[in-house]
Protein backbone atom coordinates (compact mmCIF):
# COMPACT_ATOMS: atom_id res chain seq x y z
CA UNK A 1 0.00 0.00 0.00
CA UNK A 2 1.45 3.38 -1.03
CA UNK A 3 0.12 6.41 0.85
CA UNK A 4 0.68 10.12 0.45
CA UNK A 5 2.49 11.59 3.43
CA UNK A 6 2.59 15.21 4.58
CA UNK A 7 2.90 16.70 8.04
CA UNK A 8 1.67 20.10 9.14
CA UNK A 9 4.25 22.90 9.13
CA UNK A 10 6.33 23.43 12.27
CA UNK A 11 4.76 26.86 12.82
CA UNK A 12 1.17 27.15 11.67
CA UNK A 13 0.35 30.63 12.94
CA UNK A 14 1.52 32.41 9.78
CA UNK A 15 -1.39 32.34 7.30
CA UNK A 16 0.79 32.51 4.19
CA UNK A 17 3.29 29.83 5.26
CA UNK A 18 3.69 27.40 2.33
CA UNK A 19 2.54 23.84 2.79
CA UNK A 20 5.23 21.14 2.97
CA UNK A 21 5.37 18.92 -0.13
CA UNK A 22 3.46 15.66 -0.38
CA UNK A 23 5.71 12.61 -0.44
CA UNK A 24 4.82 8.93 -0.78
CA UNK A 25 5.61 6.12 1.60
CA UNK A 26 4.88 2.39 1.73
CA UNK A 27 2.51 1.14 4.43
CA UNK A 28 1.58 -2.35 5.63
CA UNK A 29 -1.93 -2.97 4.26
CA UNK A 30 -2.50 -5.85 6.70
CA UNK A 31 -2.17 -3.48 9.69
CA UNK A 32 -2.54 0.06 8.31
CA UNK A 33 -4.70 2.27 6.11
CA UNK A 34 -4.04 5.58 4.35
CA UNK A 35 -5.68 8.65 5.78
CA UNK A 36 -6.30 12.27 4.91
CA UNK A 37 -6.86 14.39 7.99
CA UNK A 38 -7.80 18.04 8.18
CA UNK A 39 -7.43 19.45 11.64
CA UNK A 40 -9.64 22.30 12.74
CA UNK A 41 -7.91 25.64 12.99
CA UNK A 42 -8.26 28.12 15.78
CA UNK A 43 -8.10 31.86 16.21
CA UNK A 44 -4.31 31.75 15.82
CA UNK A 45 -3.84 28.81 13.46
CA UNK A 46 -5.39 27.74 10.20
CA UNK A 47 -6.90 24.45 9.07
CA UNK A 48 -4.24 22.25 7.56
CA UNK A 49 -4.29 18.86 5.82
CA UNK A 50 -2.19 15.96 7.10
CA UNK A 51 -1.60 12.87 4.94
CA UNK A 52 -0.18 9.53 6.04
CA UNK A 53 -0.84 5.96 7.07
CA UNK A 54 -1.76 4.75 10.53
CA UNK A 55 -2.39 1.51 12.35
CA UNK A 56 -5.99 0.32 12.33
CA UNK A 57 -6.29 0.80 16.10
CA UNK A 58 -5.58 4.53 15.69
CA UNK A 59 -8.27 4.97 13.02
CA UNK A 60 -12.07 4.63 13.03
CA UNK A 61 -13.00 0.92 13.15
CA UNK A 62 -14.63 1.14 9.69
CA UNK A 63 -11.17 1.75 8.17
CA UNK A 64 -10.28 -1.94 8.64
CA UNK A 65 -12.85 -3.00 6.02
CA UNK A 66 -10.89 -1.51 3.11
CA UNK A 67 -13.63 0.88 1.97
CA UNK A 68 -13.34 4.66 1.92
CA UNK A 69 -14.70 6.07 5.17
CA UNK A 70 -15.21 9.62 6.43
CA UNK A 71 -15.53 10.72 10.05
CA UNK A 72 -16.17 14.44 10.71
CA UNK A 73 -14.88 14.44 14.32
CA UNK A 74 -11.74 12.48 15.09
CA UNK A 75 -8.63 12.87 17.23
CA UNK A 76 -5.34 11.57 15.82
CA UNK A 77 -1.67 11.56 16.81
CA UNK A 78 0.80 12.54 14.10
CA UNK A 79 4.49 13.18 14.65
CA UNK A 80 4.07 13.31 18.43
CA UNK A 81 1.27 15.89 18.35
CA UNK A 82 -2.45 15.33 18.77
CA UNK A 83 -4.95 16.92 16.39
CA UNK A 84 -8.75 17.13 16.32
CA UNK A 85 -10.57 17.37 13.01
CA UNK A 86 -12.11 15.36 10.17
CA UNK A 87 -10.59 12.21 8.69
CA UNK A 88 -10.97 10.13 5.56
CA UNK A 89 -9.36 6.70 5.48
CA UNK A 90 -8.93 4.44 2.46
CA UNK A 91 -6.99 1.35 1.35
CA UNK A 92 -5.93 1.88 -2.26
CA UNK A 93 -2.56 3.14 -3.50
CA UNK A 94 -2.45 6.97 -3.52
CA UNK A 95 -6.10 7.21 -2.38
CA UNK A 96 -5.29 9.93 0.16
CA UNK A 97 -3.32 12.09 -2.27
CA UNK A 98 -5.82 14.94 -2.41
CA UNK A 99 -5.44 18.67 -2.00
CA UNK A 100 -8.90 20.13 -1.51
CA UNK A 101 -11.37 17.33 -0.79
CA UNK A 102 -15.10 17.75 -1.12
CA UNK A 103 -15.77 15.84 2.11
CA UNK A 104 -14.35 18.45 4.51
The residue ranges of every structural domain in the chain are 2-11+18-90
Q: What is the pLDDT of residues 69-104, one digit of tens each?
A: 999 999 887 667 777 888 999 988 888 887 554 544
Q: How many CB atoms lie within 10 A of CB 43?
A: 5
For the segment 4-20, the average pLDDT, to the nearest whole number, is 64
pTM for the whole thing? Answer: 0.75
For the segment 41-60, the average pLDDT, to the nearest whole number, is 77
Res. 7 pLDDT band, cuts 50 70 90: confident
Half-sphere exposure of residue 45: CA atoms within 13 angstroms, side-chain side = 15
Give the separation between CA 93 and CA 12, rounded to whole angstroms: 29
Q: What is the pLDDT of residues 29-50, one digit of tens each?
A: 999 999 988 877 665 556 677 8
Sheet of 32-39, strands arranged across: 48-55, 32-39, 81-90, 69-78
Amino acid sequence: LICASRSPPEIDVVPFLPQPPITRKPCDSSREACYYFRYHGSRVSRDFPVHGCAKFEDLPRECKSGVDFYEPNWRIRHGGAEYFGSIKCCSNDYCNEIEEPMFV
